[in-house]
A and B are shown apart, each in its own frame.
Chain A
Amino acid sequence: SQQGEEDPQALSIQEGENATMNCSYKTSINNLQWYRQNSGRGLVHLILIRSNEREKHSGRLRVTLDTSKKSSSLLITASRAADTASYFCATDGGGAQKLVFGQGTRLTINP
């Protein structure tokens, strides 16, 4: 069964606006990671948040984690056309060394 599930599945906004993507998961975790994938390319690691952290920032990215609700959000502020990509959350399933990915959110930034 799918561990991580992102919503929305697709998001289209204007350049300069903020984009928020959500991820829900089912089992307990040690950490949660967000990745970006440009069309037809590999995955780029964005940020890792550990289960004892509630919020983390990296440049224009802000990630929150609510372990009581088993959910995380990724906020991209002041979006740019170059942010157009698919964004995936991935969990470790509580100690396994494999990552469990959601289906992803396809983000489109319109100039």
Chain B
Amino acid sequence: NAGVMQNPRHLVRRRGQEARLRCSPMKGHSHVYWYRQLPEEGLKFMVYLQKENIIDESGMPKERFSAEFPKEGPSILRIQQVVRGDSAAYFCASSPPLQGVQETQYFGPGTRLLVL
């Protein structure tokens, strides 16, 4: 059973370009979460999605950031017109269908975005 997969693992963009980060959850998991980690800091929640639905986007910046989890295919985190402050590690996590309370989230290896 493959774990959470993210690609690319490293992404370099120039200011103003778009970054697209992909996440394939573990088999059987229908819930996806995106987190951002700045150097020497903990992870900060960005967005929680189920198939074709955004459940909680309270951690997403209001502009330039969007996320989707289509019926088919991976979840995508899209950052438009990147700026240097977007440089960070972006982690995706997945969990099985929830049964009332928080279940364990399993993390992918992350995508390290560098904006030049």
Contacts and interface: CB of A to CB of B under 8 A. Distances in A.
Contacts of A90: 43
Interface residues of A, number: 27
A99 B110 CA distance: 16
Interface residues of B, number: 26
Nearest to A101: B42
Contact of A104 (B33, B42, B45, B105): B42
30 contacts: A2-B42, A30-B102, A31-B101, A31-B102, A33-B105, A41-B109, A41-B110, A42-B107, A42-B109, A42-B110, A43-B93, A43-B107, A90-B43, A92-B101, A96-B56, A96-B102, A97-B31, A97-B33, A97-B48, A97-B98, A97-B102, A98-B56, A98-B58, A99-B33, A99-B43, A99-B105, A100-B45, A101-B42, A101-B43, A104-B41
